[in-house]
Amino acid sequence: MLKNTVLQTKEVWKGYREESGAFHWVLKKINLELMEGEFASILGEPAGGKSTLLRILGFLELPDRGKLYFQGRLVGEIGDKEMEYMRTDKVWSVNSQLPLQTPPRDLAAVLLDKPAHLLKPNSGNSLLEQIRHFNSMGITVVMATRNPAIASYATSIYKLSEGETVKLNGNARYSTT
């Protein structure tokens, strides 16, 4: 079965002005293609751009350069009303827990920012079990972490270093197959 692309970045750059006045690129030429039902981890150091990348993927920030696509549509060409619908019903940015055991049928992706303290395997009611449940239903999950052990729960691991991503191979503990 062919899987569709849910979120895609093409040459995405994002920068910020520091207190000193110097400009710093936190993301540089990010190219990601996240597929339907993928469980991906963005692994990187503190202040390395993981949260910024998730905010862009969740339509909360726009890149300074490059393009973001959602289900094949260029995000910059989507109107405000539809963009709000996408933020609330299509792509969830989650910081503590998933609100429902059964996701809405329109939900395409869940973005988790630094969930290390929330992932407790074998606890019966853990966020990890909810993530696996959502992912088994074909929902794309993207998780940002600095912890390699947490990142290894994903089926795809991307290392974010010096503003750029590299896809790492293997060592994932969890598989949807």
Could you tell me the two tokens for 150? 């947490």
Q: Is 136 exposed, middle or buried (0-12, 13-18, 19+ CB in 10 A)?
A: exposed
Instruction: Name the CATH code of domain 5-168 (choices 3.90.1660.10, 3.40.50.300, 3.40.50.261, 3.40.30.10).
Output: 3.40.50.300
Q: What is the pLDDT of residues 50-91, one digit of tens each?
A: 999 999 999 999 999 999 999 999 998 888 999 999 988 999
DSSP reduced 3-state for 129: helix
* Radius of gyration (C-alpha) of the chain in whole angstroms: 16
Confidence tier at 116 by pLDDT (50, 70, 90): low
- Enter the pTM of the model: 0.87
Q: Closest Cα to residue 15, out of 62, 75, 76?
A: 62
